[in-house]
Chain A
Amino acid sequence: MLPRPEPREAFRRELRGRLMAEARVALAPRPTTRETAWVTLQRLWLRPAFVFAAIGIFLITGSGLAAAGSLPGDPAFALKRAAEDVQLALAPDESARIEVLATQADHRLAELSTATTERPAAAPTASAAYADAVARLNFAIAALRGKPDPGATKADAAREVAERARAKHIVVLDELEGRVGEEARDSIEQAKHEADKIGPDDHRPAKGPGAAPNRPPSRSAAGTARPAESDDHDNDEGARTAAPTARPTATRRPSTATPSPSIRR
């Protein structure tokens, strides 16, 4: 006979309360990408550098269209990255720079998703490019510390950007891991490891004694594949051993001293 345990009523109520509180924030309507882009354009249109960049972008539009759909490792990808560097250079302050870098990390994640599902051979390179984007974002966040920041408003904003990105990326990668074939799982696993690192060191959950501090990113990481870690996500039989990792979960509570659940009979 197989028991069909039910969760404790107190646990069920408490979790529902937390979910509803979180849902009001997580499911609240946000400005669309198009709206955000329009606001940014309004802020930038008078800047001379922006005008020059616009002209440059206009001149390379043809190539830019080809680059837009490129993946890390493609010849056109360098052009895409150059355009992103222009965008980064135009950021008016550190906060905007961090937003741009977070957006670039989103792009690398999207490319990784495309690579793992459509071109698995490109997945390791896409995973390395994603790791590089995360490192650049973390470096920018760490750089804020050395600058005057009355009220720590910029640091708080950076933390918020990092937390949002980390939560989003982990969920996307979890979902992706359930869909991709075996050949791409190592790349996803590597990316998950990197996603866990997003954010300032002192604001991330502890990673153990081996955790490395933020360091300046390498600009050429997109061309090299990293060694894969073990993976048993969503896997078939035989997927039973794995290295322990420290996944941050803001809502997790201690696992001890919990009374037994009731059993539905």
Chain B
Amino acid sequence: MGELPNRPAGAGVTSDERAAEDDRALAIRAAGGDAEAFGVLYDRHVSAVYRYVFYRVRNEAEAEDVTSDVFMKALRAIPRYEPRQAFLAWLYRIARNAVIDRGRRLVNRTQVTFEDALSHGAADQVVDPNESLLAGSDATALRAAIRNLTPLQQEVIILRYVEGLDTAEICRITGRRDGTIRGIEFRALGALRGLIPSREAL
């Protein structure tokens, strides 16, 4: 089982399709009772799920908590996994609902802590270097600003600019049409421009 490599971010179309097929095969095996197959799926996607959650909750402890929740839910739901659907899209949907559930439990949702973002400092490459807003923004301010977007805007920005997915992939994951996603991305970037101080200001 361990021979399958972890999914590389930003890989080409062919390797993405191959990875999706591998996921599907593993999910079918897991649904049939193969616990180790589920373990491989976990190894392949835990980082992506963690990152997705990380940008949408207040701190790292919550990110770990919600990530645990996502995989526990996925484990219980895997016997009913429908192979026509991409496994990663299915997993992101569980993550999306877990984040929303988490948000509901917060009494003071607007209270934002910056300690975690500060602890991260600089990081990996931005996926789209042509996007001057994101490429030129301070990571701390950006992460705080993302949490001020609507849930769907957050999702699109994270999938696009953290995970490096293209619009078609985001459409598959969110179940929205191409034009809708582009519109959401456009509005999200517009909102971020108002939320993020310029580099000169920093």
Contacts and interface: CB of A to CB of B under 8 A. Distances in A.
A96 B72 CA distance: 29
Given A20-B35, A24-B35, A27-B30, A11 B134 contact: no
B169 interface: no
Given A22-B75, A234-B100, A252-B69, A240 B139 contact: no
Contacts of A5: 50-51, 54, 60, 120, 123
A258 interface: yes
How big is chain B's contact interface, by range?
35 or more
Nearest to A164: B76
Nearest to B30: A27
Contacts of A233: 97, 100-101
A153 interface: no
B34 interface: yes
Contacts of A254: 61
A252 B162 contact: no
How big is chain A's contact interface, by range?
35 or more
Interface in B6-50: 9, 30-31, 33-36, 38-39, 42-43, 46-47, 50
B71 A245 contact: no
A18 B68 contact: yes
Given A2-B161, A178-B93, 17 more contacts: A1-B137, A3-B124, A4-B124, A7-B46, A15-B67, A16-B42, A18-B68, A22-B72, A26-B76, A27-B30, A178-B96, A235-B152, A237-B187, A239-B152, A244-B106, A264-B123, A265-B124
Interface stretch (A50-58, A120-128, A134-142, A169-177): A169-177
B122 A265 contact: yes
B174 to A, nearest CB: 9
Contact of B134 (A2, A244, A251): A2
From B9, B42, B43, B139, name the one whose CB has the most chain A CB atoms within 10 angstroms.
Answer: B42
A246 interface: yes
A65 interface: no
Given A2-B127, A4-B9, A234 B77 contact: no
Nearest to B101: A247
Contacts of B119: 260
Interface string A249-265: 10111111110110111
Contact of B38 (A27, A253, A255): A27
B197 interface: no
Given A232-B151, A234-B93, A261-B60, A246 B51 contact: no
27 contacts: A2-B127, A2-B134, A3-B143, A4-B9, A5-B51, A5-B60, A5-B120, A7-B67, A15-B42, A16-B39, A20-B39, A26-B76, A27-B34, A27-B79, A29-B33, A174-B97, A178-B97, A232-B100, A234-B97, A235-B151, A235-B152, A242-B103, A243-B104, A252-B68, A257-B61, A258-B64, A261-B63
Contacts of B72: 18-19, 22, 249, 251
Contact of B65 (A16, A238, A240, A255): A255
B47 to A, nearest CB: 6
A15 B74 CA distance: 13
A233 to B, nearest CB: 5
A23 interface: yes
A236 interface: yes
A107 interface: no
Query: 9 closest A-B pairs (Cβ-Cβ)?
Result: A3-B123, A23-B35, A258-B61, A4-B124, A255-B61, A7-B50, A237-B150, A242-B104, A260-B119
Contact of B123 (A23, A243, A263): A263
Contacts of B123: 1-5, 263-265
Contact of A247 (B51, B59, B105, B143): B105
A167 interface: yes
Contacts of A242: 100, 103-104
B6 to A, nearest CB: 11
A3 B65 CA distance: 20
Interface in A108-138: none
Given A4-B124, A252-B65, A261-B60, A12 B150 contact: no
A243 B106 CA distance: 9
